[in-house]
Amino acid sequence: MAYDPKDVLRDGNSLLGAARQLLADHDRALAEVQRGLAPLRAEAARGQLASIPVERLKDVTGGRLRVGALEKAGFATVADVLGTTRYRLQLVPGIGPQTAAQVHAAAGSLAEAAERSAGIRVDLERQDDVTTPLVIALHRLVNAGPDVPRARAAAERLAERLGPLTHDARPAGSWWRRLFARPAKRERAEKALTELAQAVEAEGSRDTGLLMSQASVDLLRPAVSADEAWIDFELRASDYQTLLAELASLEPAREAAEGFVPSDLAARVKAQPLDDTYRRVSLRGYQSFGARFALVQQRVIIGDEMGLGKTIQAIAAIAHLRAEGGTHFVVACPASVLINWVREIEARSTIPAHPLHGPGRDDALAKFVADGGIGVTTFATLPMLDVPLDVDVTMFVVDEAHYAKNHETRRAKTVASWCRRVDRVLFLTGTPMENRVEEFRSLVAHLRPEVAKQVSPGEAVLGAQAFRSAVAPVYLRRNQKDVLVELPEVVHVDELEEFSAADGAAYRRAVAAGNFMAMRRAAYAVPKKSAKLDRLLELVEEAEANELKVVVFSYFRDVLAAVEAALGPDAHGPLSGDVPPARRQEVVDEFTAAPGHAVLLAQIQAGGVGLNLQAASVVILCEPQVKPTMETQAVARAHRMGQVRTVQVHRLLTPDSVDERMLKILRTKTRLFDQYARRSDLAEQTPDATDISEQTLARQIVAEEQERLGTS
């Protein structure tokens, strides 16, 4: 033998002990979370049962119960029944001991079902004795680090494998056991010892023992104080909510999580393995499905709504391909999100990220070519990115892919060239069709020309099934409300403010001149007399009183300048197209890190794309936007996974003006977007659901307002 049997047994038992210890430590941490969940489940169940009429008890018993006597006695709901005793039920005329027992048992059965299905959401505003123990318990698991799931999986595998091997190999560990063992047992011991030695050597090369021991140490740290747990929850809410969704089984409906793709395709996707060796983050069920969808279909669009973690899904797919031997990956994105991509790759994976942009681009490219990893570049740099053809790029990812919808632009032509070069391509976009189905079709043409030919606008009008069958192989979309079951609600409020005299005069001049853009911002033409600006300041003051962060969006720089002058030097920003991407991220970081209340100003074109603004729970839109998707994107930057507060969206509008005219016309565009892109489905197609261009919109509104005001 090339190894000492005693050493092999010692090392094998040590590894087995570390695996079992980790499983026990992790189980204790999980049990602590479940104890924290129990009172919240019971509370949620009681609220649900209070809305269920007592008549529904008949459904539990197949209609055998007569509940009329209970209703006459004042028992209106199932909660009323659970709130009393069997003896009290027996005092109801017409209810005997047997019926009382059946009624109570049926109510208990409904209570158990309600607790199992109760949705649990941690509310930052409710830091009481019921919720706090759960947050403290979650803190232990969240702060144990991203390697715990991998360590747990290794421990389960080793416990299952090494337990029998160490048991069977024991006779080979000493001369007297070998002497008294039967021949068959000695032979089995030698075989087990050989397998055990191989397993110990293999796990040693992977540092599995160190991985499990470190995870156990992290799980055994003392519980933190309530204040520390809540502060950490607010800073890392996304991690807490992801873990809570997993442990509380807060899974969305299967069809919604799978984007309503056909069942045969869904089955193939779910059968696809997803290796997590190079991944350092747990995935939600719908995220895992999205990554697998990209792997199975190879050339696809993930069009999930903003805030659902499209970046993480792309990283998960890349990590799997890296585990299969892929070495080089390229991500193309707007400059505004390049830094965010690099950060996410570094935080969520063990694959090196190379920012291929800016002054150090050449050196970074050389290192990327030599060492491999994920090269992250911008649309502007992509045409100049000289990656040698002998470098096998395993996957090409395009973020905000709708920017490549116009095939005549240099950007789109470069993206198309890379799509031809790389077998696996993943487009990420929350707005695959901004104005018309034809734009969605143009994106598909980059990936699967044969599918794009099937998705003609005429065919789409035929109905839901024709559209879905045409795009299913290449398109996956899920919505926040369908899959983020713990996401706080978003409250939309239209703030109607009449023109002041100065506003009205500026508006009439703009209408007379036929200046659509001047009409849109006339309400801020004289800031000191602006009714909209006064209301904006009131909203900011209210947010300050509640220590809430605010983000203010406008299309116009001069409007933001007026807001900035009114707010003073404490406002962050404004973010605009001419602010370098690195500085944009710095401004957002400063805004996020500011204690308590803060205000961030952003041009909606710059701040509504690619930036994470979940620190803000109040969103103010200075004026309605020509593209409904622009507003949707902007709001989704705050109302996204990890948000812990209800998001208030205030849109400032002036009645009997361009604002109301725009909203009336744009409802058609919003409905068209919803039907095709948002639901991955065409519920119905009405004759008036047609596109209208920005120029047509402007001409129509100007003409209507000139006629109304008599200035034509």
Where are the chain's structural domains?
A: 1-250, 253-482, 487-709
Whether 256 shows a pLDDT value over 90: the answer reads: no
Nearest to 647 by CA among 618, 621, 607: 618
Amino acid letter, residue 639: H
* pLDDT number for residue 566: 94
Distance CA 197, CA 195 (A): 5
CATH 3.40.50.300 fits 487-709, yes or no: yes
Helix (H) or strand (E) holding 374: strand 373-378
Nearest to 624 by CA among 600, 646, 655: 655
Beta-carbon contacts of residue 178 (< 8 Å; ≥ 6 apart): 171, 172, 186, 189
* pLDDT number for residue 687: 29
pLDDT tens for residues 194-241?
Answer: 888 888 888 888 889 898 988 899 898 899 999 888 888 877 777 787
Average per-residue pLDDT in the chain?
82
The number of residues in the chain equals 712
pLDDT tens for residues 635-644?
Answer: 877 766 566 5
Whether 418 shows a pLDDT value over 90: the answer reads: yes
Least confident of 13-27, 245-259, 373-387: 245-259
Whether 252 shows a pLDDT value over 80: the answer reads: no
E strands, 381-469, are 393-399, 424-428
The answer to whether 253-482 and 487-709 have equal CATH topology is yes
* pLDDT number for residue 167: 84
pLDDT tens for residues 277-315?
Answer: 999 888 888 899 999 999 999 999 998 876 678 999 999
- Going by pLDDT thresholds of 50, 70 and 90, the confidence category of residue 368 is very high
Segment 674-700 mean pLDDT? 50
Amino acid letter, residue 549: K
Distance CA 45, CA 174 (A): 59
- Quote the pTM value: 0.60
Amino acid letter, residue 245: A
Whether 147 shows a pLDDT value over 60: the answer reads: yes
The more confidently predicted of residues 256 and 565 is 565
Distance CA 269, CA 293 (A): 5
Whether 85 shows a pLDDT value over 70: the answer reads: yes
* pLDDT number for residue 272: 95
Beta-carbon contacts of residue 233 (< 8 Å; ≥ 6 apart): 122, 124, 135, 138, 139, 240, 644
CA atoms within 13 A on the CB side of 630: 17
Q: What is the rounded (10 degree) CA torsion for 39, 45, 49, 51?
A: 110
- Tell me the CATH class for 253-482: alpha beta
